[in-house]
Amino acid sequence: MVDRWRKLIFLLALVMLSLPAFSQTAADHLKAGDQYYAQFDDNKALEEYRRALELEPENYEALWKIARALIDVADALPPKEPGTLTKQKKMYAEAEEYARRAVKLNPNDTWGHFFLSAAMGKRALMLGKKEQIEMSREVKAEIEKALELDPNNDLAYHALGRWHRRMAEIGGVKRALGGLFYGDIPRGSFEESEKCFKRAIEIRPDYTNHYLELGRTYLAMGKRDLAIQAFEKCLECPITTSKCELYKKEASEELARLKGRK
């Protein structure tokens, strides 16, 4: 009789221990994912966001946060490791798929549109010139939609700044020749790129990457002293994301090259 009671108590204890795992909601997993994200653990964050989506397949927040995490994890893969490009291409495509689902589910929020533009932009860089040019129009449209929905989305201004610089870097001869093969190439300007990065900095003045990319725009404009100031400011910023150490490293390399010139 005593043994039977002991077995019963043991089984009840096992059930009680297992209850929290079964009672976790999508909101719980989203919260856990956000905590991992704040700790710069993008892989664990991705796992939690996927669990949230399993529980609620139509959860908009889970969809765009999965897209964000996929992009961050792909960006962090070792560039020289065999198979990295293949993995990145697959993950960017997956991120684009989740972001499109998010936009379809909720077309009136900034983050679905922004991370759709980010995933497309990352994937486009791994494709041919014709595909890049074709996708660049949709990328810009999604960035502009994100800004229309939230004029204080600093990451969208940042993305638009990069878009303008990339388009502006296509010079007259390349543009003319490219137009013959790929059709009309969208136009951008270094001045607009500068404005976008400055606006991003106004909104979020402590983010390393805003200063890094502003510095690169200044380099493209031939404004060496302003580029140095921007790169130095990047180094002064706090670590706020999992990528900030990399941005600071790149800013240091840019400064070393600039200060090594006469």
Instruction: Output the CA–CA distances (angstroms, integers) from residue 2 to 7, 8, 48, in the order listed.
Output: 9, 10, 42
| Domain of residue 36, CATH code | 1.25.40.10
Which range of residues forms the domain containing residue 53? 27-126
Cβ-contact 49, 30 below 8 angstroms:
yes
Backbone angle region of 207, left / alpha / beta, with phi > 0 → left and psi within -120 to 50 → alpha: beta
| pTM summary value | 0.86
d(CA 216, CA 68): 24
Q: Is residue 133 part of a domain?
A: no
Per residue of the chain (262 residues), give pLDDT as tens: 545 555 555 455 444 444 444 589 999 999 999 999 999 999 999 999 999 999 999 999 999 999 999 999 999 999 888 999 999 999 999 999 999 999 999 999 999 999 999 999 999 988 887 788 888 999 999 999 999 999 999 999 999 999 999 999 985 434 434 443 445 677 899 999 999 999 999 999 999 999 999 999 999 999 999 999 999 999 999 999 999 999 999 999 999 999 886 4
134: exposed, middle or buried (Cβ count in 10 Å: 0-12, 13-18, 19+): middle
Q: How many domains does the chain have?
A: 1
Residue keyed to tokens 């993950």: 91
Q: Is residue 206 part of a domain?
A: no
Q: Is residue 104 part of a domain?
A: yes
Q: Is residue 183 part of a domain?
A: no
Q: Is residue 172 part of a domain?
A: no
d(CA 194, CA 150): 20
Q: Is residue 144 part of a domain?
A: no
Residue among 208, 217, 210 nearest 249 (CA): 208
Tokens representing residue 224 in the block: 């060496």
C-alpha of 88 from chain center = 13
Q: Is residue 80 part of a domain?
A: yes
Q: Is residue 106 part of a domain?
A: yes
